[in-house]
């Protein structure tokens, strides 16, 4: 007699295999996410520290670039408040040293007008502001005897006021002697050229010796009768032409002056 086969039972635990695989994959996923999260936290912490340090030391952009891997710390760091550097432009010219250019002579003119008001009214002095400079005309009658080159002592108070203005400005000074058209020939001067030049030199000596105006700032010129300020047809006009002009030169006026070259210091020889 045949035996019947025993009925087989269905395996209801096969799902555990799939579940285990799913749990393993899920665990791996969370491990990866956790690791990724930890890296981001570290970088975020590094960025936070760098921001704090940069804000405290004034180098924000450099620190952020270094942490994020987009830059490197420079070997030398410019100061935070350094001015921006522009390329392709000429650098600004350095400021000129003080007192290298002639001063504005309008103020000097006003000062002399106020200080010499009586002399201007009496016709002893005349003031003119020209392109070449401030011209102070000293009439012969107030400063020199006729045909002489000695400065009259009574004119020294006037010269003191003029020297005070010369002293406070850096302008070069030119002393220009002028005469009228009447020829002169005596034991001392053979011509008006010599007289006009001698009067310029005499005025230079007074300004240098008495009022300490540096000789290096002054120059002399003699024009004789060749640059009249008035007509030589009348006595009044001729008296105006006999003068010494003290000219405080402007920058334009100095162009007619020879340029002086710096001299090397003198060598002092020692005895044997």
Q: What is the mean pLDDT of residues 82-101?
A: 52
Residues in the chain: 272
Q: In whole angstroms, what is the distance from residue 253 CA to residue 212 CA?
A: 23
Least confident segment among 4-8, 177-181, 182-186: 4-8
Q: Give the C-alpha distances (Å, rounded to integers) separating 265 from 6, 141, 270.
A: 133, 44, 15
| pLDDT beyond 70 at 160 | yes
Per-residue confidence band for 90, with pLDDT thresholds at 50, 70 and 90: low
CATH class of 106-254: alpha beta
Q: How confident is the model at residue 264 (pLDDT cuts 50, 70, 90)?
A: low
Average pLDDT over residues 94-108: 65
Res 98: pLDDT: 45
pLDDT digits (tens, 9 = 90+) for 55-81: 455 554 454 455 445 444 455 555 545
The Cβ of residue 258 has, within 10 Å, a number of other Cβ atoms equal to 6
Region 246-260: mean pLDDT is 81
- Inform me whether the pLDDT recorded for 271 exceeds 70: no
Q: How far apart are CA 181 and CA 183, in angstroms?
A: 6
Q: What does pLDDT average to over the chain? A: 78
Q: What is the pLDDT of residues 223-233, one digit of tens each?
A: 999 999 999 99
- Model confidence band, residue 46 (pLDDT cutoffs 50, 70, 90): low
Residue 143 has pLDDT above 90, yes or no: yes
Which of the residue ranges 68-77, 182-191, 207-216 would you say has the lowest mean pLDDT? 68-77
3-state secondary structure of 126: strand
- Please compute the mean of the pLDDT values over residues 84-90 and round it to a whole number: 53
Give the start-to-end residue ranges of the domains of the chain: 20-67, 106-254
pLDDT higher for 181 or 77? 181
> Is it the case that residue 12 has pLDDT exceeding 50?
yes
Please tell me the predicted confidence (pLDDT) of residue 18. Answer: 73
Residue appearing with tokens 């030199």? 201
Structure tokens at 47: 């960025």
What are 66's two structure tokens?
A: 């270094």
> Of 14-28, 48-62, 182-196, 208-222, where does mean pLDDT reach its minimum?
48-62
């Amino acid at each position: 007699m045949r035996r019947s086969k025993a009925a087989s039972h269905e395996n209801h635990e096969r799902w555990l295999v799939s579940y285990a695989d799913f749990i393993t994959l899920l665990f791996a996923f969370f491990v990866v996410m956790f690791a990724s999260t930890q890296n981001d936290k570290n970088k975020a912490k590094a960025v936070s520290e760098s921001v704090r340090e940069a804000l405290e030391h004034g180098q924000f952009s450099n620190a952020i670039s270094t942490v994020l891997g987009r830059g490197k710390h420079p070997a030398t760091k410019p100061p935070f408040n350094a001015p921006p550097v522009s390329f392709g432009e000429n650098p600004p010219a350095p400021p000129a040293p003080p007192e290298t250019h002639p001063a504005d002579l309008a103020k000097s003119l006003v000062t002399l007008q106020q200080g010499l008001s009586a002399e201007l009214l009496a016709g002893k002095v005349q003031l003119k502001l020209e392109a070449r400079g401030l011209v102070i005309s000293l009439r012969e009658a107030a400063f020199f005897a006729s045909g002489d080159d000695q400065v009259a002592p009574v004119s020294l108070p006037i010269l003191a006021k003029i020297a005070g203005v010369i002293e406070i400005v850096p302008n070069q000074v030119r002393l220009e002697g002028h005469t009228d058209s009447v020829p002169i020939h005596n034991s001392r001067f053979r011509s008006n050229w010599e007289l006009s030049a001698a009067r310029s030199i005499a005025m230079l000596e007074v300004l240098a010796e008495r009022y300490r105006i540096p000789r290096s700032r002054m120059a002399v010129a003699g024009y004789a009768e060749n640059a009249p300020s008035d007509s030589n047809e009348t006595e009044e006009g001729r008296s105006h032409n006999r003068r010494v002009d003290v000219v405080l030169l402007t920058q334009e006026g100095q162009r007619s002056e020879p340029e002086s070259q710096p001299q090397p210091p003198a060598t002092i020889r020692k005895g044997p």
